[in-house]
Chains A and B, each alone.
Chain A
Amino acid sequence: MASTTTLDDATSHHDTHNEAHADAHDHGPGSWTRIFTTTNHKDIGSMYLWFSLFMFFVGGGMALLIRAELFQPGLQIVQPEVFNSLTTVHALIMIFGAVMPAFTGFANWLIPMQIGAADMAFPRMNNWSFWLMIPAAILLFASFAVPGGAAGSGWTLYPPLSIQGGLGVDMTILAIHILGASSIMGSINIITTLLNLRAPGMTLMKMPMFCWTWLITAYLMIAVMPVLAGAITMLLTDRHFGTSFFNAAGGGDPTMFMHIFWFFGHPEVYILILPAFGIVSQIIPTFSRKPLFGYASMVYATASIALLSFIVWGHHMFTVGMPAQGQLFFMYATMLIAVPTGVKIFNWIATMWRGSLSFETPMLFCIGFLCMFTLGGFSGLVLAVVPVDITLHNTYYVVAHFHYVLFPGAIWGLMAGVYFWLPKFTGRMYNETLGKWHFWLSAISFNITFFPQHFLGLAGMPRRIPDYALQFAEWNMVSSIGAFILGFSQLLFVWNVVSCIRSGAKAEAKQWEGAESLEWTHLPSPVPYHTFETAPIVK
């Protein structure tokens, strides 16, 4: 792995070709047009990360509106139609606008540096895949302003509701098309970079885990994004061109949409988590001062999770009246995923076992990730059981489950990554005390927000409703209070990042003594604009 890498002095020469290219297109770091024209992986990585931070707060604001409405029974703040739009767009923004771009941002920043490449394989396509996301985001936001409001069918866009909706649904469909194209281009870029541009000696099985998880994630994305595009295109033709793929009145079948959607949707949830696995797999060894336990098994476990994710989609739709054999197949296949996931969890624990642990902010987020993600995984196992799922389907138990895997899973993985690599990106240190406050406030308020939702779901409260029966009032109030603390404590993160960039203490080239990947061992902090223009030789 990276610990055995070294620079080969003999290859340390200037790359005239690349220099000319950079001069022609980068417009230098000072020009204002740089954000439109840049093809530099670090610029684009930063743009992705800022974009996703912005979207995270927009989506979070919607979540707070939802929780404010649910603070008490009855309708107080928003009308039911707006409430439905809020739940729909909150999910779409968080998935396609916050988590996926943030991971792509990390991929852009880190993958070339971790494999010793000068840049991504297709720098211009990289620029394009970022800028495609802006019109998509504008479409999503603007859909609130059109007659009928934004899509209110939930992010799953199930017909018949999504066939009946107004212009907002069309805008959402178009936005998802664009985001899908962006994701496919990003994935192609990442796979090509990882397969073709590795430094001499950097074999696949020496790549840092973050690169591995992204390689697998990128394949998942290329495979399922076209399926989603197909499903929503059929939706669009059903809406406007007289087809009846999903329209029962014309002989179509709404269940078919669910099958196609979840064939995309289940791999999608692993797209949202696997890169976080990669980040965690880099941070835990660093602060345990031990190499990652079971590196090869981690790679195989990630690949197994990805392959299994293609054959479990039915567990999202146990209640559609599928044959008992189908339910059993999807139930057992779903439970099977717990095996490679368990391999990963135990490997992380074994990495920490007898390690020389220290608890800086990134490590705290990773340990929080381990505990909370495992909890979310267990409630997932509960939901995998067909008879249990039939009673819990579409209740708040499901909401609690996927927030447990997505917030402490994907989001904390990202937060950990930001705290971990910020010294490398900016050359400055964040405020450790503030980081710890951010972690503990998030950890406590997250559980106040989402743990009661398990109780609500078990008691039978349905999801996606703006008003509810009186017996659910207490836990909803608790959940809403937690949500507001959780939401506002994320401002500490923004403050910490901004003040780190502006006035943080100077960071060292190898800020974390246990860090072993190329960006820590071979590059100064902050990293120069161009790195590894000559590939290092990895031994």
Chain B
Amino acid sequence: MSMSTNNGASLDSNGMAGALVQAVDRTEVERNNRIMLYKLLLIVPVMLFFCASMVPLYKQICKVLGITATRAMAENTQVDTSRLIAIDFVANLNTNFAWNFVPVEKHVDVNPGAKMTINYRVTNTLPYATTGRAVPSFAPIEGGLYFNKIECFCFSNQTLQAGETRDMPVTFYVAANIPKDIGAIALSYTFFRVNDSEAATNLSAGNLKKAP
């Protein structure tokens, strides 16, 4: 490396002309510094704006790239695709109960382990609000052991206004370990009319058991 023998202390030798030149340079430098200051200060509002626009930015980017907000559902590995179980849906009404009650889908074939949702449609044909309660049954009976309902309208009181129609879903799956000899299951619901007094006390299955 090459350097002169000068150090900082010996830089102080004076020169009038030099000082003048320096003074001119200094205003020039100060002007440049100020311009730089404004440029850099501009970054602050820009980044504040960016901060505020993050939500719409996310929405747009996810929309353009097709990134969905929810995590991709994991594949259900419990499905037995080697066979199909035939499911029949039956709707019954208890005597003298003037509702209209039908399954929307009367028959489906499902793989054991696969989730499925079907609907029953019920209409109150009476001119006043009525309460009913449905009870399921299976044929064959052991088929019911492997028929797992995730969502169902049964056992709870359903109150329909005069003339109201309602679709009630049943979400279920047939257990993957269902024996090979069961190839079909029929699910039947029977609607019972709930007495007005009974509806008022909202009698549950638990209370029924306690009754003598």
Q: Which residues of A contact B (CB under 8 A)?
A: 3-7, 9, 11-18, 121-122, 184, 187-188, 191-192, 195-197, 222-227, 229-231, 256, 259-260, 263, 321-326, 509, 516, 521-524, 527-528, 531-534, 539
Q: Is B77 an interface residue (CB 8 A)?
A: no
Task: Report yes or no: A259 in contact with B58, Cβ–Cβ below 8 A.
Answer: yes
| Contact residue among B2, B8, B15, B58 (Cβ-Cβ distance under 8 Å from A6) | B2
Task: Report yes or no: A532 in contact with B43, Cβ–Cβ below 8 A.
Answer: no
Task: Report yes or no: B48 in contact with A522, Cβ–Cβ below 8 A.
Answer: no
Question: Inside 8 A of B50's CB, which chain A residues have their CB?
Answer: 227
Known interface pairs A13-B19, A15-B22; A528-B9 also in contact (CB < 8 Å): yes
Complex Cα distance, B8 from A188, in Å, reads 27
- Within the complex, the shortest CB–CB distance from B16 to chain A, in Å, comes to 9
Task: Report yes or no: B8 in contact with A523, Cβ–Cβ below 8 A.
Answer: yes
With both beta carbons as reference points, the residue of chain B lying nearest to A2 in the complex is identified as: B1
Q: Is B71 an interface residue (CB 8 A)?
A: yes
Q: List 23 A-B contacts (CB under 8 A).
A: A4-B1, A7-B11, A12-B6, A13-B14, A16-B22, A122-B37, A188-B36, A191-B36, A195-B36, A196-B32, A196-B33, A224-B47, A225-B47, A226-B43, A226-B45, A226-B47, A256-B55, A321-B71, A324-B71, A324-B72, A521-B3, A528-B9, A539-B2
Task: Report yes or no: B33 in contact with A509, Cβ–Cβ below 8 A.
Answer: no
Most buried by A among B23, B37, B48, B62: B37
Complex Cα distance, B43 from A6, in Å, reads 37
Task: Report yes or no: B15 in contact with A13, Cβ–Cβ below 8 A.
Answer: yes
With both beta carbons as reference points, the residue of chain A lying nearest to B31 in the complex is identified as: A196
Complex Cα distance, B144 from A466, in Å, reads 51
**B interface secondary structure, majority:** helix
Number of interface residues of B (CB under 8 A): 45
Task: Report yes or no: A524 in contact with B7, Cβ–Cβ below 8 A.
Answer: yes
Task: Report yes or no: A229 in contact with B18, Cβ–Cβ below 8 A.
Answer: no
Task: Report yes or no: B8 in contact with A524, Cβ–Cβ below 8 A.
Answer: yes
Task: Report yes or no: B23 in contact with A259, Cβ–Cβ below 8 A.
Answer: no
Give the 6 A-B CB pairs with smallest separation, nearest first: A13-B18, A230-B51, A14-B14, A13-B15, A226-B47, A3-B1
Q: Is B41 an interface residue (CB 8 A)?
A: yes
| Contact residue among A7, A192, A230, A522 (Cβ-Cβ distance under 8 Å from B33) | A192
- Within the complex, the shortest CB–CB distance from B18 to chain A, in Å, comes to 3
Task: Report yes or no: B19 in contact with A122, Cβ–Cβ below 8 A.
Answer: no
Complex Cα distance, B44 from A11, in Å, reads 38
Contact with A along B3-43 (1 / 0, CB 8 A): 11011111111110011001100100100110011001101
Contact with A along B75-88 (1 / 0, CB 8 A): 00000000000000
Question: Inside 8 A of B68's CB, which chain A residues have their CB?
Answer: 323
Q: Is B52 an interface residue (CB 8 A)?
A: yes
- Within the complex, the shortest CB–CB distance from B92 to chain A, in Å, comes to 44
Known interface pairs A15-B19, A15-B22; A524-B33 also in contact (CB < 8 Å): no
User: Known pairs A7-B6, A16-B22. 19 more at Cβ < 8 A?
Assistant: A6-B4, A7-B3, A14-B15, A17-B19, A121-B36, A188-B37, A188-B40, A196-B33, A196-B36, A224-B47, A230-B48, A321-B71, A323-B71, A325-B67, A516-B1, A523-B8, A524-B7, A534-B22, A539-B2
Known interface pairs A9-B4, A226-B48; A263-B13 also in contact (CB < 8 Å): no
Q: Is B200 an interface residue (CB 8 A)?
A: no
Known interface pairs A15-B19, A121-B36; A9-B6 also in contact (CB < 8 Å): yes
Task: Report yes or no: A12 in contact with B22, Cβ–Cβ below 8 A.
Answer: no
| Contact residue among B7, B54, B62 (Cβ-Cβ distance under 8 Å from A509) | B7
With both beta carbons as reference points, the residue of chain B lying nearest to A228 in the complex is identified as: B51
Complex Cα distance, B14 from A509, in Å, reads 24
Q: Is B65 an interface residue (CB 8 A)?
A: yes
Complex Cα distance, B65 from A322, in Å, reads 14
Complex Cα distance, B58 from A225, in Å, reads 20
Complex Cα distance, B40 from A184, in Å, reads 9
Task: Report yes or no: B3 in contact with A6, Cβ–Cβ below 8 A.
Answer: yes
Question: Inside 8 A of B40's CB, which chain A residues have their CB?
Answer: 187-188, 191-192, 222
Question: Inside 8 A of A528's CB, which chain B residues have their CB?
Answer: 8-9
Question: Inside 8 A of B9's CB, which chain A residues have their CB?
Answer: 524, 528
Complex Cα distance, B8 from A522, in Å, reads 6
Question: Inside 8 A of A533's CB, which chain B residues have their CB?
Answer: 11-12
